[in-house]
Amino acid sequence: MFDLLESTLAGTRDNLGEQACVLRGFALPYVPEMLPVLDSILKAAPFRHMVTPGGYHMSVALTNCGALGWTSDRRGYRYAPNDPVSEQAWPAMPDLFLRLANTAAAEAGFDQFEPDACLINHYVPGTRLSLHQDKNELDFRAPIVSVSLGIPAMFLFGGHERSDKARRIPLFHGDVAVWGGVDRLRYHGVMPLKEETHPLLGAQRINITFRKAGGTPHAV
């Protein structure tokens, strides 16, 4: 079933907004090389459940690679150059990841995207991500590039207010969502994942999100 969906949708584009879209199957050619690279990142910086400022453990486990990594604890959300667990620098962002992020961004209309942060989320059936804005970055001119691997997820893409109605978009293995410009600060999230098993990755979803986190503060 998964192979059929991937092959049927691959190469198509779903527009979510004026400057937001899903590139169906865009990452599939990269997957064979991505998985061993991902394994090496996880050996250096394993997945962990971070604590929110309110003191709760996030249901989605995460890690990072790149010059900056997204972290959360009781002091708040922020980007940091070092892994708070190992106190070492986050693993370097692989050239393959940079190439995928850059080409996907260009395909969506954002040229010369150079991410310095890569957040890697790990979902299992039942986990979810509540509606939120990506606003810890300094420069909102750069887009968000989000790669889906593994079991499907229902992506929520809302408006600029939390109360705005969110559209539901299914994301499959190899899909890449890109949003920026006037859509950069749209609320988004992920509904609880259903019990599924992907033939390549099993009962899990891995979401790799590229961002430009550092630089000079600049609004859209």
Q: Give phi and psi for 8, each to the nearest 5.
A: -70, -40
Q: Distances from the Cα of 128 to the Cαs of 13, 50, 74, 183, 192, in angstroms? A: 25, 14, 21, 22, 4
For 42, the enclosing helix (H) or strand (E) is helix 31-44
- Class of the CATH-defined domain 2-158+167-211: mainly beta
Looking at the predicted structure, is the pLDDT value of residue 5 above 70?
A: no
| Cβ-contact 130, 189 below 8 angstroms | yes
pLDDT in tens, 166-198: 999 999 999 999 999 999 999 999 999 999 999
The gap between the terminal CA atoms of the chain, to the nearest Å, is 40
pLDDT in tens, 110-145: 999 999 999 999 999 999 999 999 999 998 999 999
pTM: 0.94
Residue spans of the domains in the chain: they are: 2-158+167-211
